[in-house]
Amino acid sequence: MGVTLTILAYNEAENLINLLPLVIENLKKVTDDYELLIVDCDKSTDNTKEVCEKFGAKYVVQETPYYIGAYKTAVKFAQKENFFIMDADFSHSPEYIPEIYNAFINNNADVAIGSRYVAGGENDDESQNIVYSKFLNFVYQNLFGLRGINDISGGFKMYKTEILKNINFMSRYFEAQLEILVKAKIQNPGLKVVEVPIHFKKRDKGVTKRNYFTFLPEFCLLFVKLLIYKIFAKFSKKHK
Ligand SMILES: Nc1nc2c(ncn2[C@@H]2O[C@H](COP(=O)(O)OP(=O)(O)OP(=O)(O)O)[C@@H](O)[C@H]2O)c(=O)[nH]1
Ligand SMILES: [Mg+2]
């Protein structure tokens, strides 16, 4: 058992200094069997390392570039059976950790999602971002067999670590959230996913790393790659 709670961080020390004690406090409400893993960006220029040391969190620098490089580093270093990931900037409130954790454990789930798009969920993002995100979720729900999952693209999630260790990532940025669920579902058609409503808030301190100019073509590219992946997976299953 046990859970690795990981936070990917790119110049987030001023958020982490307030976030980490709350993360620890909330994790302790549900388990003592946890490790806290912070994956810092190789380009960060702040004192994230010192902040992590202050709270006893394991600190590693991402081994390969882009957001996905940090994600892969987190999966590689995760030692526990379950993997909980959240953002560093208070968009994902640590108060939801016990609810998401309990939903995962009590339902014997493979994935638990802190969801902006189920009853009781809220999203404080800009309205054009919400429209884009909802459109993306609609497309993936209907084209990749993920109907019934309302917030595929969010980043506040708990997984069985094994699911992530089995994924050969094709993404570079935040589209990785979609890739994981598409591939996990293809690899395990009986994948059990539960959603817990969350109120997604705007980032507290610091600056965004979201850049639609770079991200949009990557989302389109991933879409095409996943369609091909899906066809190959179907074909190889048929000819087994
Ligand atoms: N290590 C690492 N972390 C990253 C990288 N890019 C983003 N992150 C972290 O990933 C999380 C999500 O990034 P954000 O910049 O908050 O993206 P967003 O939530 O879409 O945008 P805003 O909240 O509006 O700023 C944050 O904790 C970032 O610090 C990266 O290249 N490396
Ligand atoms: Mg954010």
The structural domain count of the chain equals 1
pLDDT for 4-24, tens place per residue? 999 999 999 999 999 999 999
What angle is formed at CA 147 by the lines to CA 141 and CA 153, rounded to 5 degrees? 45
Task: Cite the DSSP H helix spans in 29-126.
Answer: 48-54, 66-77, 97-106
What is the pTM for the complete model shown? 0.97
Q: Identify the CATH number of the domain in which residue 151 sits.
A: 3.90.550.10
Q: How far away, in angstroms, is 208 Cα from ligand 1 center?
A: 7
pLDDT at site 152: 98
Contacts for 75 with CB less than 8 Å, ≥ 6 apart = 83, 161, 164, 165
pLDDT at 240 over 80: no
Is 134 close to ligand 1, i.e. is its CB under 6 Å away? no
Q: Which atom of ligand 1 is nearest to the CA of 12?
A: 29
Rounded distance from Cα 237 to ligand 1 centre (Å) = 37
| Ligand at shortest distance from the CA of 40 | 1
pLDDT per residue as tens digits for the range 90-112: 999 999 999 999 999 999 999 99
164 ligand 1 Cβ < 6 A: no
Range of the domain at 214: 3-238
Q: Looking at the chain, how many residues does it have?
A: 240
Residue whose structure tokens are 């526990």: 80
